[in-house]
Structure 1
């Protein structure tokens, strides 16, 4: 451990600043060690995801570690650049969702949500979100989202699906918004609000998506008449307000 250089303080104020700097440095060192340890644990758990009997605990362990904001900021890179992991996570999610339709259990619901959180981390990360966007993952997840109310997927899974798209829309990038609108994100969200709006978590994330789309001022400047987002957004907000009044 490096020695913290100190000078003989000439006043109480300087002593306070000296102590504060020393404490800040120690905390920074401890935080760096903690982050390094967490990232090493993530790498270890990612290697376990392909193993059937280990996948559930591995995904859940990573989800727990990622509650640390600093870990969350780098998680997407670990997931994306871990060879083949993204495809495995997506396929595992699709398999779990298929089993949820037949037999709902808390374990399956938790696993589906944890897997979606790993995919969301890729969408969130500054260095990987464009790769995520250019892949087939958004289209596949949007298909799952569009059919979620009809298939009666649990609220936790629907919220996790919505969160992935909300993460992308938070960036306020016009191309992302227009791509998702063209592919039916607004119809899917409005259908979910209509069918599942009584669930508070579902309603909150759905409202966030609508607000993110409506606040993307670049969309107003687009001369693309076939992108109609104003009416669907207003329709969704009206339905959401109706649910709020009923609660």
Structure 2
């Protein structure tokens, strides 16, 4: 499955690389665009020393960790939100007759390698924050775990939103509300949000496990909202549960689909 994805992605990458100037420009543009979000964080800290009790470098750590997870998911999975376009155009049938998973084909469809600029931007911020904070290395093992967990959570959200489009047909914005909206939510400490919202994105939609709960462990901080210590380690379980729900929803979406006959 991985090798098939790589071959499909490489095909689209070679096609894009045929226009090197355009490819380079879009990569730089992605880097700069996400840099504007970073600028907002820096502007906030130009006017204050802490945000909900967290220093600038701690917020940059949370921003970078969530940014890497989201950018990787955006790069490798987000094209699944094109499913409604294929359904309306009648081209989804072609994915069904191929001996490869429809999910894999859709996520690799029109693979956009120049999104690597967004990954690099978030990675640089995360690297800077880790160095600036001088984190205890006995806690640093959680950093790659939280990045992988965040990637899985965002990928599951995109899959759920894609599955919903088999029923709603014309609602790609649904994906944006939970994916891009979730990425915006995770850029800041959750202690800046209302308690009810934080409960919702912890126990219902597990966005708190992208970077907040594991980030508290890495930073050796208690949760200002009082969640138990063991919650810091539940990210992989939460990601697995959401991924299983997304896989089930995708299968149901495929079963719900009715061919256009084209």
TM-score, normalised to structure 1, is 0.28
From the CA coordinates, give the structure whose radius of gyration is larger: 1
Q: TM-score under structure 2 normalisation?
A: 0.27
Higher relative contact order, chain-length normalized (CA < 8 Å, sep 6+): 2
